Amino acid sequence: MLVLEFITMNEGLNEYTLLGSRELRWGSKTYIMGILNITTDSFSGDGVGKDMEAALARAKRLVDEGADIIDIGGESTRPDSRPVTPEEEINRVLPVIKMLSSEVDVPISIDTYKSEVARRAIEAGANMINDVWGLRQDPELAHVAAEWGVPLIITANQRDMQYDNIMTAVVDSLVAGMNLALDAGVAWENIIIDPGIGFGKTLEGNIEVLRRLSELKSLGRPILLGTSRKSMIGLVLDLPADERLEGTAATVALGIANGADMIRVHDVLQMKRVAKMTDAIVRGTR
């Protein structure tokens, strides 16, 4: 198995990933990915649609609050959302990426599982690909990442899949995606993994993944954790999406303690503080 060969050759995370002109030095801090949804049907209700002024204002606010990366998405990932065509997704995200690449001084990630969208986004100024399907929908996405030499986030997505053991399912999904990426020529240091909180998992499965997140360190890659405002928190606390700040904070703190290297969040200001405090305890950094 190709992944196991790379893990053997690359013990630990004493390395960095180049993101645009910046270095992500794993282990030095928890990196903050701020969410910018260019949609009208986001589950969290924060989509800006086609309002360019609103997109720019939100992006600048994310940066001011401490985001290290802005993740731009043009298609909702909630289970009952309406799929959009590559053309529609491109029309949504490209103007925003072009605008932000000259307006904000942080790298841009494109949240898409479509290779055509990813290619156009990178040409427009995006620096990273965030694939919530882990290359299951469009394996060609890995070739785009390899061609442009950009980091690729591979997510464990259990939608439309049966599983008996959630951790086995997550690891198998991540390893399969990592092998596809490596076979396509994606550099080992450009692979980031995401356990995919939500995405076809039960409430109990999501909680178990968070509890056992540290086990994913055996894969030898930095971990992105995306729990912000998700239904898991709503089910536990019986709260709507716009009242899940404290629940998100709990998952972020425990996620970092269990090995998360990057968090994807809506509420950057508050979660930056949570991450900084947790880093001081877990990493000994201030």
β-bridge pairing 262-265 and 224-225:
parallel
What span, in angstroms and rounded, lies between the C-alpha atoms of 44 and 30?
23
How long, in residues, is the chain? Answer: 286
Domain boundaries, the chain: 2-9+32-280
Which among 40, 17, 42 is positioned nearest to 109, based on CA atoms? 17
Lay out the sheet containing 224-225: strands in order across.
Answer: 191-194, 152-155, 128-131, 108-111, 69-73, 31-37, 262-265, 224-225
* Cα distances (angstroms) measured from residue 267 to each of 26, 39, 47: 22, 18, 14
CATH number of this structure's domain 2-9+32-280, picked from the four choices 3.20.20.20, 3.30.360.10, 3.30.2320.80, 3.20.20.100 = 3.20.20.20
User: What per-residue confidence (pLDDT) applies to 2?
Assistant: 77
The residue behind tokens 């290297």 is 261
Encode pLDDT of 26-69 as tens digits.
999 999 999 999 987 555 555 576 788 999 999 999 999 999 99
60 classed as catalytic: no
- The residue from 221, 230, 244, 272 that is catalytic is 230
Task: Give the per-residue pLDDT at 218.
Answer: 97
Measured CA to CA, the distance from residue 19 to residue 156 in angstroms comes to 22
Which one from 264, 272, 276, 283 is the annotated catalytic residue? 264
78 is catalytic: no
pLDDT at 11: 57
184 contacts: CB under 8 Å, gap ≥ 6 = 139, 142, 143, 145, 146
Please report which confidence band the pLDDT of residue 277 belongs to, taking 50, 70 and 90 as the band edges.
very high
User: pLDDT by residue (tens digit) across 181-237?
Assistant: 999 999 999 999 999 999 999 999 999 999 999 999 999 999 999 999 999 999 999
The Cα–Cα gap between 258 and 260 comes to 6
One-character DSSP codes across 159-171: TT---S-HHHHHH
